[in-house]
Amino acid sequence: MSDRSPIITAHRQDEAACLRDLLAQVALPPAWVQARAAQLIQVARNRPPALFDALLQEFSLSNAEGVSLMVIAESLLRIPDRATIDALIEDRLGHGDWHRHLGHSPSRLVNVAAWGLATGADLLHHAGLVVRLGEPVLRAALAQAVRLLAHQFVMGSSIEDALARSDTRYRYSFDMLGEGARTQADADRHFDAYTEAIAAIGRTSGGQGPIVGPGISVKLSALHPRFETAQTERVLAQLAPRLAELGRLAQDVNVGLTIDAEEAHRLHLTLDVLERLVWWDGLGLAVQAYQKRARAVCGYLAEMARARGVRLVVRLVKGAYWDGEIKRAQEAGLATYPVFTDKAATDLSYLACAHILFGGETFIYPAFATHNAQSIASIEALAGSRTDWEFQRLHGMGERIYEQIVASHPCRVYAPVGHHHDLLPYLVRRLLENGANGSFVNHMVDEDAPIDSLIQAPHQVCRGGLPEPPLMFAPERRAAVGWDLSEPDVRAMMEGHAAARPDHPRPPTSAPADVNHAVDAAAAAAGSWDRLGGERRAEILENASDLVESAAPDLMAGLVHEAGKTIPDALAELRETVDFLRYYAVQARKHFGGDMVLPGPAGESNRLRLKGRGVFAAISPWNFPLAIFVGQVAAALAAGNAVVAKAAPQTPRIAARAVDLLHQAGVPRGVLHLVTGGVEIGQALTQHPGLTGVSFTGSTATAQAINRRLAARSGPIIPLIAETGGINALIADSSALPEQLVDDIIVSAFRSAGQRCSSARILFVQNEAAKTVERLLAGAAAELRLGSPWHLSTDIGPVIDAAARDRLQAHADWIGHRAARLFECPIPDGLAELTMFGPRAFRLENADLLGAEVFGPILHVVHFARSHLGSVLDWINASGYGLTLGIHSRIDSFWQQVAENVRVGNIYVNRGQIGAVVGVQPFGGEGLSGTGPKAGGPHTLFRYATETTTSINLAAIGGDVGLLTGGRQPKFTPCGRS
């Protein structure tokens, strides 16, 4: 295996340093490059635009109509029923100003389309509903328009069609379209399609050899349902041999096979697979220049090809998942982005990579895939006298530029093959990539954009990129650090930590007397803690956040061993804990750092001060034994209270460790106490007369018991902040993309073995989509890996204890007699010592069969008719719970209607419904699901506080100085308490 360490190092380099290296390494292109690029653009602009260019010119993503058109293009052809198609059309044509696109375009087709869209929009406005006037006509016209658009991008619906359409001046690499596989059946289908395509291409290749002849592009995620780093072992065992089989077929018929690039987190896995295949000339890999490690990857490939004595094709692309990469890095809290966030840096990296590829002697056959005239001219300059390389463009794009080149230098067309519905995700990628304001293609078609702005060398336009992910919430707070679990060394480290059982002793179970003592001691310490002030308390909480971050390996191991968390879950929980501490620190500083000066009559000072209530009991569940435990404690502390925290009986070790860290950080021992034990200790705590508030997270029944106990006490009435359970629904209409929906169902219903309060419990899926979704869901669930939580490959670990497993089994048995079982994941052998419960789903004829929260990986599925959406919403409201709700739909008015009519705390649209982020998605429900305020939100601390208003008659001591010396606006002033 070649050395990957330069790839790993480059990946972690920050963008600024990386850019400095690039600027030092890549010489400014010679002057003629600019002139050549300008000429390419000028000549291209003088030719009639291709349909895509004209379309982009008229409907770019910077106008509402362009975005609507993209949504229609993405979803229209795959929606199975008329009612939903009409709803989509109404939703999308109802917005924007379609008339302003009339008669503008140099393309007749675009003008016809604009006319059709404007007419459709008029019909809607005048008739109110598309149904009343010309509905079938409009539906058919739009479907036709999308097919026409698709035709621009797809070479043919079959490989034979595509081959027949080939233009002999170009070389071709055919791409079999399709979503990544979610099931083994999908993967098998894609394998067969590739096999047939290779044979068909081979029949026409005419002995040109695998490098310069026609080839095929293969997407590894299409060939395996779990093409993820965490599943490396099984991918190598299952996918590598299948790919080798395709390789041999390709080799036999002299067809080149290039592996497409996908998301950055799949790179190492892709290289692992590739290494097992490099045995013949004709294999290729796409490398994305937008990755900071692109140069290192090029160097690595050149070295590998040389060592194996083969010729490797390297297709250099800029990269098509840019927005997704930025999002993922921010969500995962990575120290730095995997990609350049400044587009000019990518262009520069492209040239640096080209330089390395040309230096790879004959072991590398470089292919430069770009539509950017400046990059094209620069590559020509870098190539010098070398001729054994090619350009590449996408089918349907870049014709006007490449028409000028193809006669003198070989150019290959990347040509998608497949059915319209498979094309759509690909199409949207292309539109997003090229329709955005900053893209070259977009400017190139915009005649008003000056050529000068398009031909500058990237050196001249680098601006520096986005702030790195940890600075996402700057300047208020640092985001919690995450680890990139797709990096080989990080994975090894994580598995090492997780496997080591921490040796912290289990704290002894408290006696009721300990509880009394703790509350009394806390009451004695509360005043001085409150007087410390928000600023100092914030510093202590921030210290604690740093200590938690540095104790990560130990805490994560605790979560894995004591709570049965998988490694990714343990990491997410650790980060949430850190975020809670920093977020509440910010809130303490903001609201408890001084008095609010209130407006009032002259001669009077009016001030409002927030302060701690006294002693809070913080009672937490086992399912987030660190994040919820620390979150409750931190909120109470931030607001100036002393705390007696009761950990769940299943997870006292983690709680003890957290309390230790808080003490180390500077929380006085008298201010924070831990008690352990079950119901009796909870009861002893909540009936103690010294308590001034209770923060509880757990089941609704326990919250009600606590509420009754508090009500029965004599003395002051104290607040109860309760976050409880839910029967969380997920509603999907038939416009949802089934693959995306199923990914989100799997995560929402089964991740953490369904033991999250936010987990989806009941899926309402529209009749017309139900069959497809259930098939995909069962297939995807079959690919889940059940196992020990300390292996990274484990998706589903154990449930918390035998009692929980027995409750789940009892429910499964009960519902199994009343509903159809859709699937059940079997428990592999060798896990007898773990309390495993296989994820499963049941189809219910009647949602009423589910009357209470079932806390584990059991999903209930109910079909609904679009026309009866109202009764679904009624059911959700009538359940009385209101915690989370997922909605999947491409139709804005659909999700808006749902969101407006249900009483639920956290609504998630077109994404998973678990994993709320502190300060980003403040979390908590209503009704039976909780009292509020939400955890991790801007209003949390107020409930933990009490308020004092102080009104001073200034006239009594001589007069209103503020009035006499100028204005007196109400404002916050530092209170200077110490």
* Residues recognised as catalytic: 723, 757
Q: How far is the CB of 703 from ligand NAD (least distance, A)?
A: 7
Of residues 593 and 912, the one with the C-beta less far from ligand NAD: 912
Minimum distance from residue 632 beta carbon to ligand NAD (Å): 10
The pairing of beta strand 728-732 with beta strand 884-888? parallel
Q: Does 932 participate in binding ligand NAD (rule CB under 6 A)?
A: no
Nearer to ligand NAD, 724 or 748 (CB): 724
CB count, 10 Å around CB of 826? 10
Nearest alpha-carbon partner for 758 in 849, 648, 928, 882: 882
In the bound complex, what is the minimum distance in angstroms from residue 681's beta carbon to ligand NAD? 7
Nearer to ligand NAD, 439 or 940 (CB): 940
Find tokens 């719970």 and name the residue.
881
Letters for 26-55 (x = contact with ligand NAD by CB under 6 A, - = none) are: ------------------------------
Buried b (16+ CB within 10 A) or exposed e, 61-83: beeebbbbbbbbbbbbbbbebeb
| Least gap, CB of 709 to ligand NAD (angstroms) | 7
Helix then strand then coil, in percent of the chain rounded to 5, is 50, 15, 35
Question: Read out DSSP for 28-85?
Answer: PPPHHHHHHHHHHHHHHHHSPPPHHHHHHHHS-TTSHHHHHHHHHHHHGGG---HHHH
The answer for residues whose C-beta is within 8 angstroms of residue 705's C-beta and 6 or more apart is none
Contacts of 173 (CB under 8 A, 6+ apart): 214, 215, 216, 217, 256, 258, 392, 412, 413, 414, 415
Report 235-294 residues binding ligand NAD (CB under 6 A). none
Q: How far is the CB of 702 from ligand NAD (least distance, A)?
A: 3
Cβ–Cβ under 8 Å, residues 801 and 649: no
Site string for ligand NAD, 865-884 (x = CB under 6 A): ------------------x-
Chain centroid to CA 503: 35
Q: Binding ligand NAD by CB under 6 A: which of 417, 787, 853, 914?
A: 853
Of 359-367, 634-642, 682-690, 895-903, the window that binds ligand NAD (rule: CB under 6 A) is: 682-690
CB of 816 to ligand NAD, least distance (A): 22
**Bridge partners, 824 (sequence order):** 840
Strand partners, 291: 339
Judged by beta carbon, residue 423 or residue 720, the one nearer ligand NAD is 720
Interface pick for ligand NAD out of 705, 778, 822, 834 (rule CB under 6 A): 705
Pairing mode of beta strands 594-598, 604-612? antiparallel
**Residue 684: closest CA among 518, 524, 523:** 518
The closest of 263, 300, 219, 295 to 484, measured between CA atoms, is 263
Least distance to ligand NAD from the beta carbon of 225, Å? 31
Nearest to 876 by CA among 768, 764, 723, 734: 764
Residue identified by tokens 């619906």 is 157
What is the rounded CA–CA span in Å between residue 63 and residue 82? 27
Q: Does 686 bind ligand NAD (CB under 6 A)?
A: yes
Q: Supply the minimum distance, in Å, between the C-beta of residue 879 and ligand NAD.
A: 14
Structural contact between residues 934 and 944, judged by C-beta atoms closer than 8 angstroms: no
Kindly tell me which residue out of 13, 158, 509, 683 binds ligand NAD, with binding defined by CB under 6 A: 683
- The answer to whether 197 and 159 have CB atoms below 8 angstroms apart is yes
Which is nearest to 69 in space by CA: 57, 81, 83?
Answer: 57
Q: How many helices (H) and strands (E) does the chain have?
A: 37, 26
For residue 350, what are the CA distances in angstroms to 145, 290, 347, 369, 395? 36, 8, 5, 10, 21
Contacts of 663 (CB under 8 A, 6+ apart): 669, 672
Q: How far is the CB of 555 from ligand NAD (least distance, A)?
A: 18
Instruction: Out of 60, 205, 623, 913, point to the residue binding ligand NAD (CB under 6 A).
Output: 623
Which lies closer to ligand NAD via its Cβ, residue 230 or residue 720? 720
Return the structure tokens found at 896. Answer: 């808006």
Q: Using CB under 6 A, which of the segments 77-85, 87-95, 195-203, 922-930 binds ligand NAD?
A: 922-930
Tokens found for residue 886: 């997922």
Structure tokens at 832: 């007898």
- Which of these ranges, 569-577, 642-650, 863-871, 969-977, lies near ligand NAD under the rule CB under 6 A? 642-650
Out of 632, 697, 879, 906, name the contact with ligand NAD by CB under 6 A: 697
Range list of H helices, 78-183: 82-93, 108-127, 135-153, 159-165
Q: Which of 398, 564, 682, 936 binds ligand NAD (CB under 6 A)?
A: 682
Verify binding: residue 646, ligand NAD, rule CB under 6 A. Answer: yes
Exactly one of 27, 307, 602, 679 binds ligand NAD (CB under 6 A); that residue is 679
Give 828's DSSP letter. P
Q: How many residues bind ligand NAD (CB under 6 A)?
A: 31
Minimum gap (Å) between residue 683 Cβ and ligand NAD:
5
Shortest distance (Å) from residue 706 CB to ligand NAD: 5
**Interface with ligand NAD includes 855 (CB under 6 A)?**
yes
Residue selected from 6, 649, 666, 962 as contacting ligand NAD according to rule CB under 6 A = 649
Q: Which stretch binds ligand NAD (CB under 6 A): 378-386, 417-425, 623-631, 968-976?
A: 623-631
Token reading at 278: 């490099």
Nearer to ligand NAD, 698 or 789 (CB): 698
Report the residue closest to ligand NAD, judged by CB: 682
Nearer to ligand NAD, 177 or 710 (CB): 710
Classify the C-alpha dihedral 631-635-638-643 as positive or negative: negative
Half-sphere exposure at residue 315, Cβ-oriented, CA atoms within 13 angstroms: 31
Binding flag, residue 217, ligand NAD (CB under 6 A): no
Q: Which is nearer to ligand NAD, 354 or 854 (CB)?
A: 854
Site string for ligand NAD, 742-781 (x = CB under 6 A): ---------------x------------------------
**Strand-pair category, 926-927 with 881-882:** antiparallel
User: In this complex, which beta carbon is closest to ligand NAD, that of residue 640 or of residue 930?
Assistant: 930
Measuring CA to CA, which residue among 713, 781, 691 is closest to residue 743? 781
Q: Which C-beta is closer to ligand NAD: that of 594 or that of 725? A: 725
**Residues 801/805/806/810 CA torsion (nearest 10 deg):** 160
620 binds ligand NAD (CB under 6 A): yes
Q: Choose the stretch contacting ligand NAD; rule: CB under 6 A; options: 48-56, 205-213, 482-490, 613-621.
A: 613-621
687 binds ligand NAD (CB under 6 A): no
Judged by beta carbon, residue 174 or residue 923, the one nearer ligand NAD is 923
Residues 720-749 that bind ligand NAD (CB under 6 A): 723-725
Backbone phi and psi for residue 768, each to the nearest 5 degrees, phi listed first: -65, -25
Shorter beta-carbon distance to ligand NAD: residue 241 or 678: 678
CA–CA separation, 420 vs 446, rounded Å?
Answer: 28
Q: Which listed residue (120, 621, 797, 798) binds ligand NAD by CB under 6 A?
A: 621
Under rule CB under 6 A, residue 648 binds ligand NAD: yes
Nearest distance from C-beta of residue 282 to ligand NAD, angstroms: 55
Which residue, 556 or 674, has its beta carbon nearer to ligand NAD? 674
Contact criterion met (CB below 8 Å) for 444 and 41: yes
Please state the closest distance from residue 613 (CB atom) to ligand NAD, in A.
19
Q: Site residues (CB under 6 A) for ligand NAD? A: 619-624, 628, 646, 648-649, 678-679, 682-683, 686, 697-699, 702, 705-706, 723-725, 757, 853, 855, 883, 924-925, 930
